[in-house]
Amino acid sequence: MLDNLGIRVERIATKVTKHGAACVEGGVVGFAIKTKQIDRFVRPTDAAATEIAIGERFVLVVGGEHELPIATGFAPSGTVAGDKLFIDPDDNAVKRTSIAAGDLPLGVVVEKDTAPDPDRVLVNTNAWQAFLPTPS
Task: Give Cβ neighbours of residue 92 (< 8 Å, ≥ 6 apart).
Answer: 15, 17, 21, 22, 23, 24, 73
- For the whole model, what pTM was predicted? 0.86
pLDDT digits (tens, 9 = 90+) for 26-78: 999 999 999 998 888 999 889 999 999 999 999 999 999 998 888 766 888 88
| CA-based nearest residue to 114, from 69, 66, 65 | 69
126: pLDDT strictly greater than 70: yes
CA distance 121 to 113: 6
pLDDT digits (tens, 9 = 90+) for 76-118: 888 889 999 999 999 999 998 767 888 999 999 999 888 877 8
pLDDT at res. 2: 60
